[in-house]
Each structure stands twice: as structure tokens, then as C-alpha cells.
């Protein structure tokens, strides 16, 4: 079954990401220019934060296109909800044991990622599962508790 794309939602996402990239580029332009001059003096490579954000945006866009093809009803199992939360907890514990002061996962090439960033999609998946389980009682005052 082919899923249709909501054109307005898609256009809104593209517009917000584009606006965010423009904001990052304008906010870091002066400091990137100064860092580039320093990098030229010391013969090192300095990648602009705006370029890093553009690369991440392209990766996210292709991830969006790939995830769009998945039938979301297949993800309605406890293993997805609790597995995502479990992975986040394991990552946070591992980072706390390895590097307790920074809480960052460091990758080669100067790319850093906070382990708590994985909590955002895990929370979305868990809350979606929770709301499906409480389908009839969503408006019940005890659902939030």
C-alpha cells in the first residue's frame, strides 16, 4: 500500500529546516570567518557549523524519505517502545562511566553528539505506544498521572 505525502506538512518541515539553516549560518558567520583565518595560520581544517548543520539536514532528509515508506502500524509493539527507552538508558550509563564530565559522544572529525539527543525520538515512540494502549482513556484525568 502506497502512503500519500501530506504536502502542507512536508512543505512546513522543509521551510522550518531551511529557516533554521539560515539562522545557524547567520549566527556563526563571523566566528567561523575568524576561526578560518586562525586555521589558515596553523594549517588546520576548520569546518563551519553551518556546513555541519547542512550535512545533518541532508542525512535527516534522506532518513525522512526512508522512514516514510515504513508502515507505522508494524511498530505498535512493546519491544519498540521499551527497546528505544532501554537503548537511551544504556547510552546514558555508558557515557556517565566513560566521560562523566561532558556527557558527549565524540566521533572522529570533530563531530560530537549528546547522548540525551537519542531520548527525543525514544520519548516520541514510547508516548505513541502509551497512547495507543490507553486509546479509550486518553481524555481520562488519570492518563497523565
79-116 per-residue burial string, b: 16 or more CB within 10 A, e: under 16 = ebbeebbeebeebbeebeeeeeeeeebeeeeeeeeebe
pLDDT one-digit tens code per residue, 55-91? 889 999 998 888 888 887 777 788 888 888 888 888 7
pLDDT one-digit tens code per residue, 100-111? 666 677 777 666
pLDDT one-digit tens code per residue, 117-141? 778 888 888 888 888 887 767 777 7
More confident residue, 71 or 43: 71
What confidence score (pLDDT) does residue 72 get? Answer: 76
pLDDT one-digit tens code per residue, 14-38? 999 999 999 988 888 776 556 555 5
- To the nearest 10°, the Cα dihedral for 132, 135, 139, 141? -80
pLDDT-derived band at 2 (thresholds 50, 70, 90) equals low
What confidence score (pLDDT) does residue 99 get? Answer: 66
Predicted confidence (pLDDT) at residue 113 exceeds the cutoff of 80: no
Q: Name the nearest CA neighbour of 65 among 19, 5, 1.
A: 5
Question: How buried is 21 (Cβ within 10 angstroms: 0-12 exposed, 13-18 middle, 19+ buried)?
Answer: middle
Amino acid at each position: 500500500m502506497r502512503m500519500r505525502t501530506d504536502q502542507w506538512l512536508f512543505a512546513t518541515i522543509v521551510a522550518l529546516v531551511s529557516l533554521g539553516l539560515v539562522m545557524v549560518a547567520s549566527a556563526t558567520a563571523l566566528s567561523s570567518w575568524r576561526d578560518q583565518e586562525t586555521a589558515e595560520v596553523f594549517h588546520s581544517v576548520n569546518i563551519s557549523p553551518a556546513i555541519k548543520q547542512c550535512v545533518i539536514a541532508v542525512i535527516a532528509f534522506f532518513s525522512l524519505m526512508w522512514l516514510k515508506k515504513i508502515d507505522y502500524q508494524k511498530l505498535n509493539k512493546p519491544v519498540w517502545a521499551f527497546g528505544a527507552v532501554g537503548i537511551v538508558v544504556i547510552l546514558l550509563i555508558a557515557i556517565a562511566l566513560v566521560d562523566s564530565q561532558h556527557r558527549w559522544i565524540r566521533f572522529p572529525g570533530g563531530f560530537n553528539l549528546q547522548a540525551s539527543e537519542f531520548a527525543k525520538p525514544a520519548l516520541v515512540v514510547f508516548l505513541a505506544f502509551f497512547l495507543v494502549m490507553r486509546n479509550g482513556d486518553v481524555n481520562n484525568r488519570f492518563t497523565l498521572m
